[in-house]
Amino acid sequence: MITIKDPKKILIVSKSNDAVVKSICHWVLNFDLDLVKLNYDTDLLAIVSTNIDHSNFIFKINDVEYKYKEFKYIYFHHGAVQLKDCYGFNSSSFDVVDFKSSFSYYRTAYEYSLKETFQNLFHQNNTIGKNQGGVINKIKMLNFAQNSGMKIPETLITSKKNDVVNFIDIHKRIISKSMDINMVFYDKIRSKLVHGLTCDLLKEDLDEIPNEFPLSLFQNNIVKVVELRIFFIGNQNYASAIFSQNSGHTIQDYRNYDEDCPNRVVPFVLPKIFENKLEKFKKLSNLKTGSIDVIIDAKNNYYFLEVNPQGQFMGVSDYCNYNLEKKIVEYLVR
């Protein structure tokens, strides 16, 4: 078995032509490291071989073969890696009665095993970020935040209209948001990205909702004084205050950007007691990097909303002059 004493390569996974990653790559090269780039939108990755403890894991990007142990760090920025031999087959029925359905069932099981193997292989100690982009269990993260001592909004997860009616009666104002990743698509007519945003839910809106519906997430509407975006890598936190409550566009969701009068964004110093809670959250969630959304109310209560494991940080870096692209590379080569 070949032992590599001082790995020098860094693998960065992102979309091709990503502006943030171009800056990160610039800093990687400044540190005299060998850069390997995997563009999830154009490149294919294949698992060549591995042993049970993954100490001799070999993979291939397109036609080039690599040993996992060659890499000092692996950084997932965005997106999900395209694995060779995964074609998206789904079994439409578990009633296996013919060759077509039998093969589909086999493919589904094979792909599940392949993807799970990939997750285990590529998320060892020297991996930063997450494959599968922003896919994360929001409910589990809310539970981790609460167990870390942070406040969270009162949350209802239900499929019944009566539950929502009672929830509104208690809290008066509530919001609805995605339970999982937010839907994003490009509107060709208006030439803009469209997001699934957090929105107010009023009692009169319930007239159009059936008595039962797919399981959904609701929270009480907390009136914020300011919103925080906290990018973290390791034990370092970089916080920005976003004055999103000053605009009708962004009062519920700052991603509904006000193009005419953009939100003011400034650096923010987190209280030590809250940083301690953040450290507990990182340990429970096993996240090494990410961006956390927090709001502060008029009584100076800090409420955890959600975490994005992709670690969206361009606004935090630019507006607050944190130079986070360099900080990421410094963390990788520490």
β-strand partners of 45: 61, 83
For residue 158 the two structure tokens come to 């239900």
Is the confidence at residue 188, as pLDDT, over 50?
yes
Class of domain 136-152+222-334: alpha beta
Domain edges within the chain: 9-128, 136-152+222-334, 154-221
- Of the two residues 35 and 128, the one the predictor is more confident about is 35
pLDDT tens per residue, range 37-62: 999 888 988 888 776 666 778 888 99
Q: In what order do the strands lie in the sheet with 64-67?
A: 64-67, 58-61, 44-49, 82-83
Pairing of β 127-128 and β 71-76: parallel
pTM of the model: 0.71
Burial of residue 285 (number of CB atoms within 10 Å: 0-12, 13-18, 19+)? buried
Query: How crowded is residue 229: how many other Cβ atoms within 10 Å of its Cβ?
Result: 24
Distance CA 73, CA 129 (A): 11
- Predicted pLDDT at 66: 92
Q: Select, from the ranges 95-99, 168-172, 251-255, 278-282, the one with the highest average predicted confidence (pLDDT).
A: 278-282
Nearest CA among 312, 290, 273, 313 for reference residue 151? 273
Burial of residue 228 (number of CB atoms within 10 Å: 0-12, 13-18, 19+)? buried
pLDDT tens per residue, range 141-158: 898 999 999 999 998 888
Pair 25, 12: CB distance under 8 Å: yes
Window from 230-234, 248-252, 261-265 with minimum mean pLDDT: 248-252
In the chain, % of residues over pLDDT 90 = 24
